[in-house]
Amino acid sequence: MSTELVKVTIDEREVHVPKGTGIVETALAAGIEIPVFCYEPRLGEPVGACRMCLVEVSPGPPKPQAACTLTAADGMEIKTARTSELAADAQHATLEFILVNHPLDCPVCDKGGECPLQDLTFRYGPGSTRMSFEKLTFEKPIPISPTISLDRERCILCYRCTRFSEGVSEDMQLIAANRGAMSVITTFEDLPYTGAFTGNVTELCPVGALLPTQYRFEGRPWEIADVPTVCGLCPVGCNIHATVRETKVKRILSRNHPEIDEGWICDKGRFAFTHIRAADRLVQPLLRRHRHGLEEVSWEEATDEAERLLRNARGRIVTALSGSETVEIAYALGKLLRRGLDSHQAMLPEEVSGALDAYRLPLSAIREADAVVVLGDVPVVERAPVVDLWIKAARRNGARILDDPDDPAVAEAERVVLVWSGPGGRGGATVAELAEKLGLAGRDGCGAFHLPETPNARGAADAWAACCDEEPAEQESIGLLVVSGDEAAADEHVRALAEQAEATIVLSMFGGLSAGWADLVLPGTSYLERDGTFVNLEGRLQRLRRAATPPCPDELEWIAALAARFEVDLAPYAPSVFAEVSELVYGGLSFGEVGERAPLRGYPEAREHVERPALPEPHPQLRKGEIRLVAYKPLFSGAAVERVTELQFQRPGPELELSAEDARQRGIATGDAVTVGSDGSSVTLRARVNRHLRSGIARVPLEHANGLQGTVELAKAQEVSA
Amino acid sequence: MSETTVRVAEGPALVLAGYEGKPLRDLADYRAVGGYEQLEQARTRDPQAVIQEIVESNLRGRGGAFFPTGRKASFIPTPDKIAKPIYITVNADESEPGTFKDREIMLKVPHRLVEGCLIAAHAIQSQQVYIYIRGEYLAEYESVQGAIDEARAAGILAGVEITIHRGAGAYICGEETGLLESLEGKRGQPRSKPPFPAISGLYASPTLINNVESITTIPAILAVGPPEYAKIGAPPDSTGTRLFCLSGNVERPGVYEAPHGITPRHLIYDIGGGVPGGHTLKAVMMGGSSFPVMTPDDLDTPLDADSLGQKGYFIGSGVVTVIDERTCIVQFALRVAQFYMHESCGKCTPCRVGTRWLVQLLRAVEEGRAQERDLDLLLDVCDRIIGKCLCVLGDSAAMPVASCVTKFRDEFRAHLEHGGCPFGADSQLARLFAPVDQHAHTPVAQEALV
């Protein structure tokens, strides 16, 4: 869009907007609504299909024009339905047509009350119908996947969903079939709509045609509240609304942060929330009694026992953080253990670094890049799904997407963005070094991102580091292992430590994870039940709000109670804890100023200081013909996803991705059985050839890797003869 | 199927020049009547000069929209202005009911079409021509492909590639942007304009789209000279000849080349031999099924755009289909509406919903289930479609229906009073329209045909 301002008159109001501004937006600038259904700028070029936005334009043809397809030009005069009979009649006509086949089942439609069609009908529509024939009927609802229901009778064929599938998520699965009045939305080959972003179509749909199955008949708009918070399931930190009815979270909606997510969220963030009501959710502390295993105890007894274990350890305490703690929980734990018990040793599932602070950009800057270099070999969508959408948008914008920083296109590009998606990477230090080498510092639109595995590793690490200046001392033995959170509890390094430890305390949402090895289990809470702050992969501090009441005292509450027994002063409230952290890390920013849509700030006081777990060695150079197997944690995996039945169809199959070159050399085609082996162990997987993958790399979801990792042999599996 | 009568009925032979009953399918035969001479000469001239010649001839699009062909070509940026390929797309998806002239051009003078393509390619400096031909046209496809192969073998293409793409049977793919979408392998649905194809057409590149007859006329224009051509027919706007498609209840249906400006009466009675079997003319499907029907009192209106326009008619694709008194006009309107309901692509609301509603209303009238106010409703639904759709398909359904209701209101009313069709089973559409069950093989099943 140019910076040249042009004058447009809308219903006799003059506005000055940049040349090329859409007329719908231009009208908004004049305070005038032009109603739309199909228009959605985030879906790319307007299509002018629904005809709701018809206006009179001069200079222009004598018939009404679709405002959504027009852009502002100097001297343009627009008359909307407010001042033009032609436009009013056209709009009236469109609504009458849309309602001809639309069922009047608003009272039982989940969209009722928050439905654009309902709203616009009330504002602009006819009061009665002249249609006296049978409406079109279809089988309904059709589950296009276990998470989405399609009602074709309600569908007004605005094609928002198919345009999303084609032009945003690029999964190409949602299509329109048939023609004319019989046109229907369907999935390609009637297969379930699968992918990281499918749920977004339920929000794009301007009627009740595509609805989240989890929310069917679960709430009416006048008895729900949308709590603005941040998703805690990955390091992107998408802004979300948690829809709450009677203290229960009923659904998750996007809450467009234009720099982070542009209103798109992944299906894990949208549909995995029901894990907070999982059958094995812990609500009472569990204590190991020698003969009986774990049994429920009161909070008082649990606190006593925790105190006893902490004292007995005499400072020989190791804390395993998950990176999913809020800044406040990590700080509270740190203050208790470090100041109260002089126990400074902590570990995170991954390394954290502040090295990228010089290369910070909002995620939205990826879209404007000329070249995006993606390193690290784990599919971006599996680590930080929405980042994948920004990269796709960049490609549609003409950017080169590369996997080699030495590609000449990188040197030629004006705006270069680096993305590290994979194991190693030293918490961003590796990609920061690369950014320095490429001279990206201080260059407009250039920057680098490291995609961590955990949602708040940076925030947790900074908070832990801020508690105290003491350095951890060498310990000969572990008196007590404190395992904070489900990710740490599931980590094999942590479990190995637990075997050495004299005692172990686990904070966990779910039983089972720690059943065999914990001495004391304290129930944990979900991100949806917490107040506090998270730092996302951009380094952006964001605010979590409690949407649902936790079924147990939250972490801050009992940490504060426990802290009091060690003369550590700790308030059990997130704002108070944040105030302390903020003085040390965030320049004294107040809790209230973190922001509903937080800006990307700089935090010069933040320091790097956390013990590191043993990291995988930098990858040895592969010899020609060798294959390195990357076993990655898929997006649809982990403690939350495992507890949501309707998400199981999204979990990856036993599939091995390999490059076109490696496949050709071995005579492997997509669908073939391949055997992957190393050191005598092997696994047979289905091959999928990915022509975008560089050769020498093969990828497999962790749960199907059978423990394999690193250099492997790969061959087409021998056909078993009958 | 009997051979269609194709001949020059009047005036100079231009599009059909040299055709004397034997198709000019061999290169030698075409060369014998001066074929490819205009191409050779045009290639020695500046491309802009060739565009200027077409502008001078005032050739108008023969596909139905009557847009000045030369002006359209002049919108195409020259290669030095844009770093994209420039395409020519020839619209051979001839699907308008009553239209069968492009078919005959492709069968009788395929080389002239190829020559026209190559002259146009020279004029806008394009290296790639696509001919989008309707899938049912197999013999026509083979005829044109044969001509292209011969021309290529003879070195006539000179680096220009002509590729034929066969459609899969959708009327909407005759709409220029629907055609482009289909050609790109997408669902055949029109695009919102602007941008116009001249700027962003096929694969977002500048694209000139012309009807078969328009392109085939170009060599003829150069042969007689643009100023001479501009004097033929009904200047200034309706210059030259065109291939009129005469069909329906007429003695000698066929494709007749004649200058613009002859009257329907002359065409039907003098050239076509009148209505057979002593029947009387009741109406004319004028220009195509997409336009208002003509009543007998307008039979002396010259067939040129201006004269027709003054009376609310369109020249369209040169269709003149004769309807006689045995045809129930409600059944005719219903059949037209059914065609458009079947062919509506489903992209925009008024057309997708409105065409079905029209069918329902017309069916109710035909079966005597309607009331007087339903006739007003019919007109109102038409009015709410016309001018409000994404492309002209919706208008094409509503205009003929509205004209039938307006001009034959008494006949519609008779259905209401009679409690059904006064014609009963005696009315027939046999020579006007294919039976409706031709649509039944698609998902628009009986149920949807309401």
How would you label B161-177 residue by residue, b for 16+ Cβ within 10 Å and e otherwise?
Answer: ebebbbbeebbbbbbbb
- Give the per-residue pLDDT at A126: 82
Measured between CB atoms, does A342 come within 8 Å of chain B? no
Measured between CB atoms, does B187 come within 8 Å of chain A? yes
Selected residues 154-213 of chain A with any CB under 8 Å from a CB in chain B: 156-157, 159, 175-183
Does position A606 have pLDDT exceeding 50, yes or no? no
User: Mean pLDDT over residues B403-428, rounded?
Assistant: 93
Measured between CB atoms, does A51 come within 8 Å of chain B? yes
A98 neighbourhood in chain B, CB within 8 Å: 349, 353
Q: Parallel, antiparallel, or unpaired for β A225-230 and A239-245?
A: antiparallel
- Give the per-residue pLDDT at B43: 98
B187 neighbourhood in chain A, CB within 8 Å: 175-176
- Give the per-residue pLDDT at A1: 56
Does position A114 have pLDDT exceeding 50, yes or no? yes
The better pLDDT of the pair A134, A606 is held by: A134
Residue of B nearest to A98 (CA): B349
Residue of A nearest to B389 (CA): A51
- Give the per-residue pLDDT at B72: 97
* Residue of B170, B360, B389 lying closest to A133 (CB–CB): B360
A156 neighbourhood in chain B, CB within 8 Å: 349
Selected residues 126-155 of chain A with any CB under 8 Å from a CB in chain B: 130-131, 133-134, 136
* Residue of B349, B361, B387 lying closest to A50 (CB–CB): B349
Q: What percent helix, strand, coil does chain A show, rounded to 5?
A: 30, 20, 50
A49 neighbourhood in chain B, CB within 8 Å: 347-349, 390
- Give the per-residue pLDDT at A604: 52
A56 neighbourhood in chain B, CB within 8 Å: none
Measured between CB atoms, does B446 come within 8 Å of chain A? no
Which residues have C-beta within 8 Å of that of residue A627, sequence separation ≥ 6?
A: A658, A662, A696, A697, A698, A711, A712, A713, A714
Q: Do the Cβ atoms of B347 and A133 come within 8 Å?
A: no
> Is the previous residue joined to B296 through a cis bond, with omega within 30 degrees of 0?
no
Residues B106/B143, Cβ–Cβ less than 8 Å: yes
Whether this model's pTM surpasses 0.90: yes
Measured between CB atoms, does B353 come within 8 Å of chain A? yes
User: Mean pLDDT over residues B376-399, rounded?
Assistant: 97
Does position A721 have pLDDT exceeding 80, yes or no? no
pLDDT single digits (tens) B75-131 = 999 999 999 999 999 999 999 999 999 999 999 999 999 999 999 999 999 999 999
pLDDT single digits (tens) B336-365 = 999 999 999 999 999 999 999 999 999 999
- Give the per-residue pLDDT at B446: 47
- Give the per-residue pLDDT at A423: 85
Q: Do the Cβ atoms of A156 and B187 come within 8 Å?
A: no
Under the banding of pLDDT at 50, 70 and 90, the label for residue A616 is very low
Cα A640 off chain centre by? 13
- Give the per-residue pLDDT at A720: 55
- Give the per-residue pLDDT at A125: 85
Report chain B's C-alpha Rg in angstroms: 22
ipTM field: 0.94
- Give the per-residue pLDDT at A622: 62
User: Mean pLDDT over residues A127-138, rounded?
Assistant: 91
- Give the per-residue pLDDT at A469: 86
Residues A27/A67, Cβ–Cβ less than 8 Å: yes
| Mutant choice from A85, A134, A182 vs B, greatest count of B C-beta within 10 A | A182
State the nearest Cα–Cα gap between A152 and chain B, in angstroms: 14
Mean pLDDT of chain A: 92
Does position A613 have pLDDT exceeding 70, yes or no? no
Amino acid at A631: A
Report the C-alpha gap between B440 and B432 in whole angstroms: 19
Does position B442 have pLDDT exceeding 80, yes or no? no
| Mutant choice from B84, B192, B444 vs A, greatest count of A C-beta within 10 A | B192
Mean pLDDT of chain B: 95
Residues of chain B above pLDDT 70, percent: 97
Which residues have C-beta within 8 Å of that of residue A42, sequence separation ≥ 6?
A: A168, A262, A263, A264
| Mutant choice from A179, A184, A188 vs B, greatest count of B C-beta within 10 A | A179
Report the C-alpha gap between B250 and B264 in whole angstroms: 12
Q: What percent helix, strand, coil does chain B show, rounded to 5?
A: 45, 15, 40
Residue of B nearest to A88 (CA): B384
Q: Do the Cβ atoms of A90 and B388 come within 8 Å?
A: yes
Q: Do the Cβ atoms of A63 and B344 come within 8 Å?
A: no
State the nearest Cα–Cα gap between B84 and chain A, in angstroms: 15
Residues of chain B above pLDDT 90, percent: 93
Does position B69 have pLDDT exceeding 60, yes or no? yes
- Give the per-residue pLDDT at B435: 82
B194 neighbourhood in chain A, CB within 8 Å: 69
State the nearest Cα–Cα gap between B21 and chain A, in angstroms: 41
Q: Do the Cβ atoms of A97 and B346 come within 8 Å?
A: no
| Mutant choice from A97, A130, A396 vs B, greatest count of B C-beta within 10 A | A97
Q: Do the Cβ atoms of B353 and A98 come within 8 Å?
A: yes
